[in-house]
Structure 1
Amino acid sequence: MSNYLLGQGSIYVAARDANGKPKALRWLRDVSSAKIALKTSEVNHKESFSGQRATAKVITTGKEASIDLTLMEMSGENLAMATQGKLAQVTNGSITNEVLPAGLVAGDRVALKYPKVSAVAITDSTGTPVTLDPAKYQVNAEYGAIVLNDLTGVTQPLKVAYSYAALETVAIFAEGQKETFLRYEGINLAEEGKPIIVELYRVTAKPLKDLSLITDKLSDMNISADVLIDTTKPANSDLGQFGRILQGAP
């Protein structure tokens, strides 16, 4: 009976509780590639009596496992995982006096703290602050940027008041490396769509290898992760200590 593999499917990750059990699973959505690699460290002994110095003994001294993923969807959760970042939801709000850099000249472009702004007003730093005529500047509301057209008679630094919409933010390298449980629920297209499951108990993702910001095709996130030994599981059990592969009996 044949048993080939042509796989598609869904990959989920979950935080681990204090006992090493996975919590609620989170779907990574579109993952275009997932590859597991296994490696052993070995000591080879060559005999010294035959004149051939042939290998007489191979001793396994270490085991390593890893997984490479290519994530296609740039959700906040995926970006946080890929950048060892901290995901936060910023509610809509307002700023009353955001101070712009000093020494600005006509034609300069400055970025505000938040994008998606509205109701922008700029005042100067005279004793009785003067509100700038909107003709003296342009606002890019989506990106939260201001281009200054005319600063004649204006006392700097300028101060900006505005409102901003709700946002999602990922602070890069703010959380550090985390351990997760990983589960693949696959469809074997080579065998009439039979299910296949792969579980990896302790996975630590490294920061993404690259993220193409300007490109002529869909950007992806390439992530490599180490698969660590889970010593909470017996070494000789059906679960193993790194992970397991489940499929229907032949």
Structure 2
Amino acid sequence: MTQYFLGQGKMFIASRDSAGNPKAQRWLGDVSAAKIGLKTDNVKHKESYSGQRATAKNIVVGKEATIDMTLMEISQDNLCLAIYGKSSSIASGSVTGEVLPLALVAGDRVSLKYIKVSTVVITDSTPVTPLVVSALKYDVDADFGTITFKDVTGLVQPLKVAYTHAALDNVSVFTAPQPEVFLRYEGINLAEGNAPIVLEMYKVNTDPLKDLALITDKLADMNISASILIDNTKPVSDEFGQFGRILQVTPIP
């Protein structure tokens, strides 16, 4: 009987323990596209007796599997996966004595260490009793944590800033090693009555983010490619294999 496939579903990710088993799984959120690819490396021999130089032997000497995913949810955890980053939560708090660059002039714009700031106070470096800079001499963009100076006449630089900031989420870039994870696709086949289908990939190395559109006229996404590696912690068996497996319900004749 014929069997077609039109899939939708969820992609889950998990770190692996020392035995190669997946730990608790996390849903990657809305994944708008996902596809796997299989490839072999071959050694070919062409015969030399027929006058056609036809291929007489094709020997598979290597195997390669990949997966490409498009992640729509730019969450903190997904960003860590995409940019090899580490996440941290920055509690709301106050900053005193943050030093601004030297030689500022009217019209210069500087950014603070944090964003979403409030109660900004600027002082100069006048000895003994620093001068509190009038708020008329600068503009503050509280959301982005920037200051634009309108007048610096008579101020002794460097200028110093005190302020408070909101709680923030932080993800650093290229501070974590390449992830080695377990991936599991749980989908439904819309072409066959929403029959369930599962794809498990035991050992996956993700590549860093290909691109993230920062200025765009549509929802940004994250395109991630990964290599599906052989997992020697899994037995060589027809049921499980050492790369992964696909599970689906036996169709009713």
In the alignment, the residues of structure 2 paired with residue 53 and residue 236 of structure 1 have an alpha-carbon distance, to the nearest angstrom, of 38
SS state of the match for residue 66, structure 1?
Answer: strand
**Over aligned residue pairs, what C-alpha RMSD do you find?**
1.0
The number of residues matched between the two structures is 250
- 1:176 alignment partner AA: P
In the alignment, the residues of structure 1 paired with residue 123 and residue 242 of structure 2 have an alpha-carbon distance, to the nearest angstrom, of 64
Which shifted more, 59-68 or 208-217?
Answer: 208-217
Aligned-pair identity (%): 62
Within a 5 Å distance, the mapping from 1:222-237 to structure 2 comes to: 222-237=223-238
Deviation at 1:249, TM superposition (A): 1.2
Deviation at 1:54, TM superposition (A): 2.1
- 1:106 alignment partner AA: A
Deviation at 1:162, TM superposition (A): 0.7
- 1:234 alignment partner AA: P
In the alignment, the residues of structure 2 paired with residue 163 and residue 108 of structure 1 have an alpha-carbon distance, to the nearest angstrom, of 22
- Write the deviation string for residues 30-54 of structure 1: whole angstroms up to 9, x where unpaired: 1110010000001112223333332
Which shifted more, 167-176 or 61-70?
Answer: 167-176
In the alignment, the residues of structure 2 paired with residue 82 and residue 106 of structure 1 have an alpha-carbon distance, to the nearest angstrom, of 40
In the alignment, the residues of structure 2 paired with residue 10 and residue 245 of structure 1 have an alpha-carbon distance, to the nearest angstrom, of 15
- Write the deviation string for residues 197-219 of structure 1: whole angstroms up to 9, x where unpaired: 00101111111111111111111
- Write the deviation string for residues 96-134 of structure 1: whole angstroms up to 9, x where unpaired: 110000000011110000001111110000011111111
Q: Which residue matches 2:99?
A: 99
Q: Which residue matches 1:207?
A: 208
Determine if the alignment matches structure 1 residue 9 to structure 2 residue 6: no
- Structure 2's unaligned 5+ residue stretches are none
Within a 5 Å distance, the mapping from 1:37-48 to structure 2 comes to: 37-48=37-48
Determine if the alignment matches structure 1 residue 111 to structure 2 residue 114: no
In the alignment, the residues of structure 2 paired with residue 232 and residue 56 of structure 1 have an alpha-carbon distance, to the nearest angstrom, of 36
- 2:92 alignment partner AA: N
- Write the deviation string for residues 122-175 of structure 1: whole angstroms up to 9, x where unpaired: 000001111111111111111011111111111110000011111111101110
Q: Which residue matches 2:125?
A: 125
Q: Which residue matches 1:84?
A: 84
Q: Which residue matches 2:142?
A: 141
Question: Runs in 1 of length 4+ with deviation above 3 angstroms?
Answer: none
SS state of the match for residue 234, structure 2?
Answer: coil
Deviation at 1:235, TM superposition (A): 2.1
In the alignment, the residues of structure 1 paired with residue 52 and residue 160 of structure 2 have an alpha-carbon distance, to the nearest angstrom, of 83
In the alignment, the residues of structure 2 paired with residue 171 and residue 151 of structure 1 have an alpha-carbon distance, to the nearest angstrom, of 34
Within a 5 Å distance, the mapping from 1:21-60 to structure 2 comes to: 21-60=21-60
Q: Which residue matches 2:181?
A: 180
In the alignment, the residues of structure 1 paired with residue 179 and residue 217 of structure 2 have an alpha-carbon distance, to the nearest angstrom, of 33
Q: Which residue matches 1:65?
A: 65
In the alignment, the residues of structure 2 paired with residue 213 and residue 178 of structure 1 have an alpha-carbon distance, to the nearest angstrom, of 24
SS state of the match for residue 191, structure 2?
Answer: helix
Deviation at 1:85, TM superposition (A): 1.0
- 1:142 alignment partner AA: D
- 2:115 alignment partner AA: P
- Structure 1's unaligned 5+ residue stretches are none
- Write the deviation string for residues 1-35 of structure 1: whole angstroms up to 9, x where unpaired: 33211011100100000100000111110111001
SS state of the match for residue 79, structure 2?
Answer: helix
